[in-house]
């Protein structure tokens, strides 16, 4: 019965956390909910064995991701199933650790549990299957102190503040005698000893201090260095393109919108990720598919006729050993400047299973089957090198890449003065997903102090200022062009330290958790020896 109540509280936490993020009931989300969403789950782990904690963690991870990432099913039902199972494993380990920490460290657990949460986020963000979606901090994309805190210590600092607030609330709630609660009988006893009061007070003060620091030192503050006039083209294309007819319709719509945008003489016209799916330059060179060649010829000639630089998403291919029947392909951003050869940035962080298959050499048949089912896989790019427009280095990350603070920091270190993100979220058919994705761009702007422009297929196209404020946007599902000024930072003034400090926080949390678990193991071994000695 106790486990059943714990499962109910855990499921409630998952529901609250999903509601805090953008969701079908509240498109912008209810960010303030993150400050208490996790408390029921933390309370549910009191007095629970580690193995039962693991089951509760699996329930939390699978329920939360099924609720918040439901849009993955639009890509393929297997994508949603895999993510829910994969994330359930992380949260199973997390909740088992939390239940153990609560038992072994009754005074300090309000401080240790947030560190365990942060360590889990760190592990979810690295490796071949990294999937850093759903961090509670991202629900606070409209909360200025959270953005200021991200500018100081990365998204990890915000996650730490959220975890501390929830742990402090859980400990405070447990200290309330059940006899004082409505409906409790006389025989009820206090939910918790008062051992955790000091830890809870410390957790609350640290969380408050972190958020106050974020308010005192707001995001932004990078020296301005002019701006670019952008025309972000949003064609309101729905679903994935497949075949020359789809490619042709997309190019016609993009060129028509761009011709109208060119009348205002912007500095740069921007199309979304894989706006032209076939590799333009490869098909212009080899002409192996006449129908596709006609499309890329139309796109290349149309872009040139605009007489204005155009940044667009397309495939990029190279033949292997000069044999056009064998080629390697990249998901690429292509910058076309009148009178100059095109320049490219190739996406470096590819989406697992959608754009690459981990361990394809080990499971070649399975990799081939997944590729046939979901599309085709890309090669990873060489690195985050900005493209240069009229002497201005511009970072051009693609889609999922705005999930990674370290990648944006590396762009900034290499001289980028602003970001222009190309993405296509139309496959999700979800306003919630578009808003969740925008939240990531907001935090990347706050961390680096560089503005982020977003060109999307069907929304939300936007320009985010260096402080994380959304300066202009075009709603999801609207066909049109967003004309906006993209603020530029002075050369060399971008920040890259926030991501590094955030990564350090994550690694420190991992080290602290490892040390706590090791000390708990030593105590357990010593206790076992004493008991055996007494029996002898």
Q: Catalytic site residues?
A: 273, 347, 399
Distance CA 445, CA 155 (A): 11
Q: Which residues contact 501 (CB under 8 A, 6 or more apart)?
A: 152, 153, 154, 157
Place of tokens 């076939």: 278
Distance CA 521, CA 527 (A): 10
- For helices 77-104 and 109-124, the axis angle rounded to 10 degrees is 150
Number of residues in the chain? 536
Nearest partner of 469 among 143, 215, 237, judged by Cα: 143
Contact 220, 449 (CB under 8 A): yes
**Coil, helix or strand at residue 194:** helix
Distance CA 302, CA 503 (A): 44
Distance CA 396, CA 311 (A): 9
Place of tokens 């956390």: 17
Q: How many CB atoms lie within 10 A of CB 391?
A: 7
Distance CA 173, CA 39 (A): 9
Copy the structure tokens of residue 269.
Answer: 């016209």
Contact 315, 332 (CB under 8 A): yes
In sequence order, the β-bridge partners of residue 231 are 269, 483
Copy the structure tokens of residue 156.
Answer: 């990890």
Contact 56, 10 (CB under 8 A): yes
Residue 180, burial from CB neighbour count under 10 angstroms (0-12, 13-18, 19+): exposed
Q: Phi first, then psi: what are they for 20, rounded to 5°?
A: -65, -35
Sign of CA dihedral 23, 24, 27, 33: negative
Distance CA 23, CA 69 (A): 9
Contact 494, 222 (CB under 8 A): yes
Distance CA 441, CA 421 (A): 8
What is the CA 328 to chain-centroid distance, rounded? 27
Contact 206, 108 (CB under 8 A): no
Nearest partner of 278 among 294, 296, 260, judged by Cα: 296
Distance CA 336, CA 307 (A): 10
For residue 460, give the H/E element and its range: none
């Amino acid at each position: 019965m106790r486990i059943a109540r714990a499962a109910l509280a855990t499921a409630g936490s998952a529901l609250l956390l999903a509601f805090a993020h953008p969701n079908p009931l509240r498109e912008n989300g209810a960010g303030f909910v993150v400050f208490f969403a996790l408390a029921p789950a933390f309370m549910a782990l009191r007095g629970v064995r580690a193995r039962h904690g693991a089951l509760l963690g699996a329930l939390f991870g699978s329920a939360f991701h099924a609720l918040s990432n439901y849009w993955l099913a639009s890509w393929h039902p297997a994508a949603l199933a895999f993510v829910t199972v994969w994330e359930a494993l992380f949260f199973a380990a997390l909740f088992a650790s939390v239940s153990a920490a609560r038992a072994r460290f009754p005074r300090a657990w309000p401080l240790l549990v947030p560190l365990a949460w942060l360590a889990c986020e760190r592990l979810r963000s690295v490796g071949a299957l990294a999937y850093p979606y759903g961090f509670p901090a991202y629900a606070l994309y409209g909360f200025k102190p959270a953005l200021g805190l991200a500018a100081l210590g990365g998204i990890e600092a915000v996650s730490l503040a959220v975890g501390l607030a929830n742990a402090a609330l859980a400990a405070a709630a447990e200290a309330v005698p059940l006899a004082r609660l409505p409906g409790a009988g006389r025989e009820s006893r206090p939910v918790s000893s008062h051992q955790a009061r000091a830890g809870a007070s410390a957790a609350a003060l640290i969380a408050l201090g972190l958020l106050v620091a974020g308010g005192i030192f707001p995001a932004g503050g990078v020296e301005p260095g002019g701006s670019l006039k952008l025309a972000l083209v949003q064609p309101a294309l729905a679903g994935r393109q497949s075949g020359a007819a789809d490619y042709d319709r997309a190019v016609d719509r993009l060129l028509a919108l761009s011709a109208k945008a060119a009348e205002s003489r912007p500095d740069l016209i921007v199309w979304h990720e894989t706006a032209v799916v076939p590799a333009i330059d490869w098909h212009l060179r080899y002409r192996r598919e006449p129908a596709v060649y006609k499309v890329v010829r139309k796109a290349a000639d149309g872009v040139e006729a605009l007489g204005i630089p155009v940044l667009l998403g397309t495939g990029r291919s190279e033949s292997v050993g000069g044999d056009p029947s064998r080629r390697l392909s990249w998901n690429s951003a292509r910058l076309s400047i009148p009178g100059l050869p095109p320049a490219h940035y190739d996406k470096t962080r590819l989406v697992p299973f959608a754009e690459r298959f981990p361990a394809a050499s080990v499971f070649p048949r399975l990799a081939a089957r997944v590729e046939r089912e979901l599309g085709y896989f890309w090669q990873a790019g060489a690195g985050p090198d900005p493209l240069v427009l009229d002497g201005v280095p511009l970072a051009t990350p693609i889609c999922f890449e705005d999930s990674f603070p370290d990648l944006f920091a590396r762009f900034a270190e290499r001289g980028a003065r602003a970001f222009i993100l190309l993405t296509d979220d139309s496959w999700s058919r979800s306003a919630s997903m578009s808003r969740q994705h925008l939240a990531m761009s907001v935090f990347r702007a706050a961390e680096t102090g560089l503005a982020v422009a977003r060109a999307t297929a069907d929304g939300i196209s936007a320009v985010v200022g260096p402080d994380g404020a959304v300066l202009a946007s075009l709603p999801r599902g609207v066909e049109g062009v967003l004309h906006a000024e993209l603020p530029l930072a002075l050369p060399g003034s971008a920040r890259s330290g926030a991501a590094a400090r955030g990564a350090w926080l994550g690694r420190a949390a991992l080290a602290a958790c490892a040390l706590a678990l090791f000390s708990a193991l030593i105590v357990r071994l010593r206790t076992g020896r004493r008991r055996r000695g007494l029996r002898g």
